Amino acid sequence: MTEKRSRPTIADVARHAGVSTTTVSHTFSGKGVVAAATRERVRATAKSLGYRPDVVARGLRSNRLGVLALVLRPLETLDSSLPEGVDYFLRFAGSAALAAMDFGYGLMLVSDPTREESPAAALACDGFLITEPVTDDPLIEMLLGEGVPFLSVGKDPARAAYDNWIDTDTELMTDLVLRHLDDAGATRVALVAGTDPNSWNLGAEASYRAWAAVRGQDPMVVHRPETTGESGGRDAADELFDRSDPPDAVYCLTGRHAAGMLTRVRERGFDVPGDVQIVGGSDSEHTRSATPPITSVDLQPELLARVAVTQLVNRLDDLDRPVPPGKLHGRLIVRNSTRTP
Amino acid sequence: MTEKRSRPTIADVARHAGVSTTTVSHTFSGKGVVAAATRERVRATAKSLGYRPDVVARGLRSNRLGVLALVLRPLETLDSSLPEGVDYFLRFAGSAALAAMDFGYGLMLVSDPTREESPAAALACDGFLITEPVTDDPLIEMLLGEGVPFLSVGKDPARAAYDNWIDTDTELMTDLVLRHLDDAGATRVALVAGTDPNSWNLGAEASYRAWAAVRGQDPMVVHRPETTGESGGRDAADELFDRSDPPDAVYCLTGRHAAGMLTRVRERGFDVPGDVQIVGGSDSEHTRSATPPITSVDLQPELLARVAVTQLVNRLDDLDRPVPPGKLHGRLIVRNSTRTP
DNA sequence: GTACGGAACCAAATCGATTTGGGCAAGCGA
DNA sequence: TCGCTTGCCCAAATCGATTTGGTTCCGTAC
């Protein structure tokens, strides 16, 4: 046999330290009873050999890999265009990766593993995080079926029988936005929603319609796919302002729609916020750096991600680590696209 | 023992199909010789039992997990603030995840695994992708030492002895930008760079200095940490325009610095592009939606990610799949912050 | 003197696949 | 008929850890 270039195994350490593999294992896991002197000797030889436990072998035995899967639903439509809410998802993914690391887990970005062409490794994860599941989400179906732990941020709108989801309280946020516009003097508010059938779009629209009904305003709802971005927003603007009874305020659920809306509305000669007020439902670069900057909802993806990861790993490890404090619903950031009451 | 809720194994399939585990394995891997009829029978029983091969067990034997690690260097400073070039990294990560999936791999987001507190799973990856390694990057040191396949996008500036990196040709891009400004009539060009010691910052600065030397202009270079974002750009503007000999053009390597620079320069009463021209080194939402929109370099993260993933998995699988065509250096997108010559 | 118990350690089974090294029977040429 | 190949299949070893079910060696109690 030629020089084997492989890493030392637990058996090598055991041999060099003159103990059994069991003792080496116990030394590192802290499970059995190992004399302090032996423990030290094992530690020392392990270090001198450059031994690192093989995660895969450990995973086989213990059935845990130390990896969380993150399914960013909207990422699956990403091709060479950007997914909606760029900010939101990177901030979520980045923060989730760091939070997972804090608990000794890795974070794997996966596309829907129910699809055939999905990599096999996607299924080897200990738990799943799903942002904005869609109606009758097949992944949730599968995870429930196989008993794999998961947590969804936002609820599968069609499913009643699960409770491991984080409520971002879309309804409350919608009310907050509508009340803000109301206070600022808007009388005819329109809604521009996306087309993904998730709780974000559906919940907001339901709240809006309820609010309009109470108020006696006939609802004005326009849908544009999330992927259309700014051009979708401009487009929606044309649809709304070609009407005989155009709105005097528009709530766009995505930041990019809001930005496109703003541009087009001003092109059509309206003053913002004088003639028309605009609010974005998901704060992003688009809303922050528009002229004027757009009032919008900061969904606090970092906080959401930390909470989600903490809850999930608590379930996995059967521990009760404290969840970061804070309200999980978004916060309204008032900017110049709406009038201060 | 109570009802075991575990998934069927290869042994279960073998038993039900009346064959050995070897045959089942061969059926799925296509390695041995299995009669068509037997293959079909095995396939059928496997499907009826809901069998799915266990990736971890497979990984133990074959020493391959089907997972790529992605180290986004700047992500490690992410706290509740955004990393520089939000667009760039999400577009890169998203595109890399999809490309990896196309080849049957998963993509794991990890922080530097050389750090002690890093999750063990971070090391279980088959190969590493590192964006913008820093000078004497410890991770590259470790990967070279352990013989783990990797690919870096941008080169570790201090390391001579490795060649598995993708050249984004920072020097060529810098020249292109400087030539563009030259053509547009700029006579005194300043550079605003970040502080991460990566090839992006170092290469651009070196090119800039060489160009200034040739041209006989004394170089004006200002550094601001990437994390300072727009306020760093405003800050840099003050430093540059408080000089007795202010520039008439500024090249900011990050989009956020460029956006802050633009705002501050205009606040100080200069016309852009009339008095001062501005170019951003990394196209992002900031540069696109500024007023006026900022001329900048599109680094084509989607293409870069696809190329990087393809090359890496080609090495891992010892195959020669075609790499997506296209120049890997960025493309200059001319907008209104510079004058058309 | 025997029994009991705990401390320290170990050999072997185990996790679920892949891979090695055959076995057996049919087919074929000499 | 013998030898050899080829097609099809299997038992057992293997990957590197964890875990089970011990054993051995004291020390103490009765």
A50 backbone dihedrals φ, ψ, rounded to 5°:
75, 35
Chain A: residue nearest B142 by CA? Answer: A50
Chain A residues 238-297 within an 8 A CB cutoff of chain B: 259, 284-286, 289-291
Q: Is the pLDDT of residue A81 over 70?
A: no
Chain B residues 302-341 within an 8 A CB cutoff of chain A: 302
Inter-chain CB proximity A86 and B285 less than 8 Å: yes
A10-17 vs A21-29: helix crossing angle, rounded to 10? 110
- Per-residue pLDDT, A75: 67
Average pLDDT, chain B: 90
Q: Is the pLDDT of residue A9 over 60?
A: yes
pLDDT in tens, B191-225: 999 999 999 999 999 999 999 999 999 999 999 99
Distance in angstroms (rounded) separating the CA atoms of residues A65 and A107: 11
Q: Measured between CB atoms, does B91 come within 8 Å of chain A? A: yes
- Per-residue pLDDT, A80: 37
Residue whose tokens read 């794991």:
B108
Lowest mean pLDDT among A104-108, B85-89, B115-119, B169-173: B85-89
Distance in angstroms (rounded) separating the CA atoms of residues B27 and B44: 11
Q: How far is the CA of A212 from the C1' of C20 (A)?
A: 73
Lowest mean pLDDT among A45-59, A67-81, B65-79, B132-146: A67-81
CB count in 10 Å sphere of residue A43: 16
pLDDT in tens, A173-213: 999 999 999 999 999 999 999 999 999 999 999 999 999 99
For residue A254, the distance in angstroms to the closest alpha carbon of chain B comes to 15
- Per-residue pLDDT, B88: 82
Mean pLDDT of the region A80-95: 68
Do the strands B67-72 and B127-131 form a parallel or antiparallel pair, or are they unpaired? parallel
For residue B260, the distance in angstroms to the closest alpha carbon of chain A comes to 11
- Per-residue pLDDT, B289: 78
Q: How far is the CA of A313 from the C1' of C14 (A)?
A: 26
B-chain residues within 8 Å CB-CB of A66? Answer: 119-121
Residues, chain A: 341
B-chain residues within 8 Å CB-CB of A79? Answer: 302
User: Which band of pLDDT confidence, cut at 50, 70 and 90, is reported for residue B76?
Assistant: low
The SS3 assignment for B308 reads helix
Residues 6+ apart with CB under 8 A from A156: A133, A134, A135, A136, A137, A140, A162, A165, A199
B216: left (phi over 0), alpha (psi -120 to 50) or beta: left
Lowest mean pLDDT among A86-90, A283-287, A337-341: A86-90
Residue B1 or B148, more confident: B148
B-chain residues within 8 Å CB-CB of A95? Answer: 78, 80
Q: Measured between CB atoms, does B67 come within 8 Å of chain A? A: yes
Chain A: residue nearest B303 by CA? Answer: A80
Q: How far is the CA of A9 from the C1' of D10 (A)?
A: 30
Task: Let me know: does B276 contact B317? Beta carbons within 8 Å.
Answer: no
Q: Is the pLDDT of residue A286 over 90?
A: no
- Per-residue pLDDT, A128: 96
Q: How far is the CA of B23 from the C1' of C20 (A)?
A: 14
Distance in angstroms (rounded) separating the CA atoms of residues A52 and A43: 11
Q: Is the pLDDT of residue A84 over 50?
A: no
Could you tell me which residues are beta bridge partners of residue A220?
Answer: A190
CA A7 vs. chain centroid, Å, equals 37
Range list of β-strands (E), A154-206: 165-166, 189-193
Inter-chain CB proximity A83 and B93 less than 8 Å: no
**Closest Cα partner for B69 from B113, B114, B103, B99?**
B113
The SS3 assignment for B97 reads helix
Interface test with A, best of B10, B51, B54, B55 (most A CBs within 10 A): B55
User: Which band of pLDDT confidence, cut at 50, 70 and 90, is reported for residue B326?
Assistant: confident
Nearest to B289 among A7, A75, A290 (CB): A290
For residue B61, the distance in angstroms to the closest alpha carbon of chain A comes to 9
- Per-residue pLDDT, A297: 95
Could you tell me which residues are beta bridge partners of residue B190?
Answer: B220, B250
Q: How far is the CA of A30 from the C1' of D14 (A)?
A: 28
B156 backbone dihedrals φ, ψ, rounded to 5°:
-65, 115
Query: In angstroms, what CA-CA distances link B120 with A122, A148, A196, A310?
Result: 18, 21, 36, 18
Distance in angstroms (rounded) separating the CA atoms of residues A159 and A323: 26
Task: Let me know: does A282 contact A267? Beta carbons within 8 Å.
Answer: no
Q: Measured between CB atoms, does B156 come within 8 Å of chain A? A: no
Residue B327 or A49, more confident: A49
Residue B286 or B215, more confident: B215
> What type of residue is A156?
D
Mean pLDDT of the region A31-60: 93
- Per-residue pLDDT, A19: 94
Provide DSSP, A201-263.
Answer: HHHHHHHHHHHHHHHTPPPEEEE--GGGHHHHHHHHHHHHHTSSS--SEEEESSHHHHHHHHH
- Per-residue pLDDT, B81: 45
Distance in angstroms (rounded) separating the CA atoms of residues A265 and A230: 12
Mean pLDDT of the region A267-278: 96
Residue A64 or B261, more confident: B261
Could you tell me which residues are beta bridge partners of residue B222?
Answer: B192
Interface test with A, best of B289, B298, B316 (most A CBs within 10 A): B289
Q: How far is the CA of B35 from the C1' of D5 (A)?
A: 18
pLDDT in tens, B77-135: 544 344 445 678 878 888 898 899 889 899 998 888 888 777 788 888 999 999 999 99
Residue whose tokens read 């059938």:
A197
Q: How far is the CA of B272 from the C1' of D18 (A)?
A: 67
Question: H helices within B114-161, ranges in order?
Answer: 138-146
Inter-chain CB proximity B119 and A97 less than 8 Å: no
Average pLDDT, chain A: 90
The SS3 assignment for B9 reads coil
Nucleotides, chain D, CB distance < 7 Å: 7-12, 14-21
Q: Which nucleotide is nearest to B14 (CA to C1')?
A: D10
User: Which band of pLDDT confidence, cut at 50, 70 and 90, is reported for residue A78?
Assistant: very low
Distance in angstroms (rounded) separating the CA atoms of residues A181 and A297: 13
Evaluate if the CB of A1 falls below 7 Å from strand C.
Answer: no
Distance in angstroms (rounded) separating the CA atoms of residues B190 and B207: 13
| pTM of the complete model | 0.87
B-chain residues within 8 Å CB-CB of A93? Answer: 90, 93, 109
User: Which band of pLDDT confidence, cut at 50, 70 and 90, is reported for residue A303?
Assistant: very high
A-chain residues within 8 Å CB-CB of B283? Answer: none
| Per-residue tokens: B176 | 């292109």
